[in-house]
Structure 1
């Protein structure tokens, strides 16, 4: 469903339990023929689709379940030192979903990570704002889980990168984010003098677990064609022994363009 009102356009992506998950995703995120999902189905055919739907008793509705398997999965049978199960806005998505300089967007979603979730010392991304084209391939923004040095608790990092190297702009202990539905709200104005607000709340008690706000953050990638969101799990295998098979649930994904080209 796309709602239009002046410059405001909104997309809601919700599981329904009756349609194939990939069909639902493509119906919302693809304008022409293509796939808005990146999975390891090609390297793990015995498992079948790596994005499915399950009924969630807490939300009382169907949600998307993202599966990833340590030993069988790859990155689309293209790269083998990492693996991913993600959905994305991309070149074949409607143009209004692609963030350009001076545009403002709001992104909202719910997700839940298992209590026994195991990150590695390398990256495990749950969300990315990533440039398409441009000089640097490093994501502009990520929510990244990471195993800490021995004796320290695992972390959830909010990472930001305008060039090749990312820096941590917020860090929190990972444990409070596990085994609870999380509501994530992101507001971003894109450009070299950009703005960012991100809030993650536990839906168990409405407590804010992570908050970041800046009115003077570089929110652009040099020479990028556009910035797009990605949801799911994307992780390195370079610390494979720390990992295990995982499922991550997502629900109520929303993209809203608040203003285009500074309007």
Structure 2
């Protein structure tokens, strides 16, 4: 990412790109200040920025390795139509968690409030599908655990959309058209209070340039299963799409920042 791109992104997120300034004001239902806890660099930290890396864990496509890697100031997730996960009806190239050193990572536990800001580039080849295509998840760590929150590319009445849903209760937080966001950088601001039952909340903001295309919140919702919550990024999609939208594709992420509400 160029210096100009960093400046523009910082302005779009109200200073989130600056480790000194931090992000804008807290979600209205929460008082306090955001403390920067995680600010990796793709060029400096590479995949060491993450707790785990799930790059073709079934070894289905060795010729395509690495599917996940740092390139310049971006993290790139590449998906080929031949790639398969360990469950062969789906594909997965994802990273998890927020690593702060070689031996430590951040743990999002019940009662805490966290905020992630970053930029994502969705090419026209990464299309919405009739079945699931997730590009961000919140999950309890461990095999077989259900997602808590999913940011997905979904076809609704034939139209491509990007949405955020609380997966536990099936609650749609927000949705907007995907096609205007193709082939350009979109700024993401995601906030979550990790709470059981009705103690949780989320806020989801997408900005395209100077335009806010989504700013939706939900309070009094369940955002906790057990142990802790952990973010995941990448491409995780079903092969059951009926719209012909599965192509060789990729996703770029940049300028990832993690803040905790003090």
**TM-score with structure 2 setting the length:** 0.77
User: What is the DSSP-based 3-state SS (H/G/I as helix, E as strand, rest coil) of the residue aligned with 1:226?
Assistant: coil
Please list the CA deviations of residues 72-96 of structure 1 after superposition, one character each: whole Å capped at 9, or x if unmatched: 2112xx221111111101899735x
Q: 1:90 to 1:236 in 2, by over 3 A?
A: farther
Match of 1:128, SS state, is strand
- 1:200 maps to 206
Residue in 2 that maps onto 1:69? 80
Counterpart selection for 1:178 from 178, 182, 185: 182
Cα deviation 1:93-125 (Å, max 9, x = unaligned): 735x22111011111111011124322210000
By percentage of residues, which structure has more strand?
Answer: 1
C-alpha separation in 2, matches of 1:254 and 1:146 = 26
Cα shift at 1:11: 1.1
Partner Cα distance (1:132, 1:48) in 2: 25
Q: 2: CA distance between counterparts of 1:53 and 1:29?
A: 12
User: Which of the residues 233, 237, 240 maps onto 2:235?
Assistant: 233
Match of 1:29 in 2: 50
Runs of at least 5 residues in structure 2 that lack an aligned partner in the other structure: 1-18, 20-32
Q: How many residue pairs align between the two structures?
A: 225
* 1:15 corresponds to: 42
SS of corresponding position for 1:147: strand
Corresponding residue for 2:259? 256
Per the alignment, residue 159 of structure 1 pairs with 165
* Residues 93 and 160 of structure 1, relative CA distance in 2, 3 Å threshold: farther
Q: Using the alignment, how far apart are the partners of 1:13 and 1:234 within structure 2?
A: 23
1:131, distance to aligned residue in structure 2 (A): 1.8
Task: Note if contact 1:133-1:226 (Cα within 8 Å) is conserved in structure 2.
Answer: no
Q: Which residue of 201, 219, 224 maps to 1:215?
A: 219
RMSD: 2.7
What secondary structure does 2:138 align onto?
A: strand
Question: Is 1:191 aligned to 2:190, yes or no?
Answer: no
Q: How far is the alpha carbon of 1:53 from its aligned partner? A: 3.6
3-state SS, counterpart of residue 43 of structure 1: coil
